[in-house]
Structure 1
Amino acid sequence: MTDWSDTTLVRIHDDYDREMSDTGAPLDSRLGRYLTQHLNDLWDEDRTDPKAFLVWAWHVATGPIMSPGYVRKRPDLGAVRLTQSQEDGRLLVEIETPVGHGQLAQSVRPPYSAMRDWEIDRYAYSSDGHHLPLQAPHDESQPALLLAATLRLPTDGWTLHQPAGKWPVEELLIDDAKNALAVAVAGVNDIAGHRVARLIGSGGGHW
């Protein structure tokens, strides 16, 4: 399992997927159950479209449909989604994240005194002890200014997996989905990881 880092935003939990299967058989997959349950959500004409298939597989493999997901986002991020542009159909990565006041450059921080900020969720867990999720202030008797950012990036350089479109057995559908998701996870970390790091990671406040 890959540890979280400032530039690792998403990762795959394949071992957990097999451990939580119904039968424990080598080919049994928790992801497979969810894919087959939601296959009717994928239009027939989209089953051979690499972008549409990936968007569908990502939606199924992440929360709230799969919880915990086959693909998991770093705990401090609000959301990591794949979508298609309504303008030209290109594949986009969309990342939502809370942004603390201290992660902004000094010159653009809020001009208010005693204004509350995001707080670390004290009941949350992160495998590395860092990158903990943030929440609204526990003490709501004071004003708060809670900032967030949405980063949208095109994925034009990705070489997407080509799905078969017809899957006579569930294992073939699972293979197509896992291959497509592996490309996306590597791509998200590659094109977005360094940008998110400069926003909320060790480089925060210096962009």
Structure 2
Amino acid sequence: MQQVFWLDTRYDREAGRDAAGRYAEMLAANIAEFDGTWGDIAPVGFACAAWRVATPPISSPGLVRWHRRVLSASCVRNTWDGSMTARVTLVSPLPEPLTANRTWWRDRGWQGWPEIFGQFVEPAQQDLAKAPHVRATLLVDAPLPLEGLPAAPDGPDDDPADAAHRALAVMVAGLNELLSPLVAQLEGVS
């Protein structure tokens, strides 16, 4: 199965100042992200805060890493029922109506997604000044299962690092189960 998300624990240990790792340091520095989640009977708010701290822009590079087609990934509490919703933006090929007939192209030098060392990137300002760009994306909004999420700690003194790591592992597994077939299809892997 294609891995779309993973935890880079090796980098985390190597980049940390002590045995706890870099993510534990990021948690301590961004403990305010967890305000309102301590002791919550639903683990969703705590898990979403753990995700925010483990991903850009708070943590770059993040403990959570993702496939080259993933531009952004966030998790939020669904306001309707309190469940967890993932929002993931993926790089996509152009939709078929744009590739079936290229009359719209008309020698204008249209460009797609630039890649640097295989990674999709935003075009540079100098490139945007030279040629038009058309970059397709897919926006995935999907529920994530709550099974396996740890309970929210009662407070910051309860050492939230272990619970945050466990929450991230559950979320990564859920996202991989959901998105691996989609990304494999986009990559042309059968």
Q: What's the TM-score bracket when you normalise by the shorter of the two chains?
A: 0.7 to 0.9
Confirm or deny that 1:16 pairs with 2:2. no
Q: 1:94 matched to which residue of 2?
A: 87
TM-score by length of 1: 0.75
Q: Which amino acid aligns with 1:14?
A: T
Equivalent positions of 1:165-180 (< 5 A) are: 165-168=154-157, 172-180=159-167
In 2 relative to 1, CA 73–47 (structure 1 residues): closer, same or farther, beyond 3 Å? Answer: farther
State the alpha-carbon separation in 1 of the partners of residues 76 and 147 from structure 2: 14
Identity %: 20
Give CA deviations for 1:21-45 in whole Å, capped at 9, x if unaligned: 113xx3x221111112222232345
Give CA deviations for 1:63-112 in whole Å, capped at 9, x if unaligned: 111111011122332111111223222211111022222xx34x453752
Equivalent positions of 1:52-201 (< 5 A) are: 52-101=45-94, 104-105=95-96, 107=97, 109=99, 111=102, 112-113=104-105, 114=107, 116-122=110-116, 125=117, 130=118, 132-136=119-123, 138=127, 140-156=129-145, 158-168=147-157, 172-198=159-185, 200-201=186-187
User: Which consecutive residues of structure 1, in runs of 5 or more, have no partner in the other structure?
Assistant: none
Q: 2:29 matched to which residue of 1?
A: 37
Cα RMSD after superposing both structures:
2.6
In 2 relative to 1, CA 145–71 (structure 1 residues): closer, same or farther, beyond 3 Å? Answer: same
Give CA deviations for 1:148-202 in whole Å, capped at 9, x if unaligned: 2211111146432223323535xx311111111111111110112212333x221
Give the secondary-structure state (helix, strand or coil) at the position aligned to 1:168: helix
TM-score by length of 2: 0.81
How many residues matched? 183
Contact 2:44 2:146 in 1 (8 A): no
User: Which consecutive residues of structure 2, in runs of 5 or more, have no partner in the other structure?
Assistant: none
Q: Which has the higher helix share?
A: 2
Contact 2:74 2:88 in 1 (8 A): yes
Contact 2:87 2:141 in 1 (8 A): yes
State the alpha-carbon separation in 2 of the partners of residues 86 and 22 from structure 1: 38
Contact 1:136 1:146 in 2 (8 A): no
State the alpha-carbon separation in 1 of the partners of residues 171 and 137 from structure 2: 24
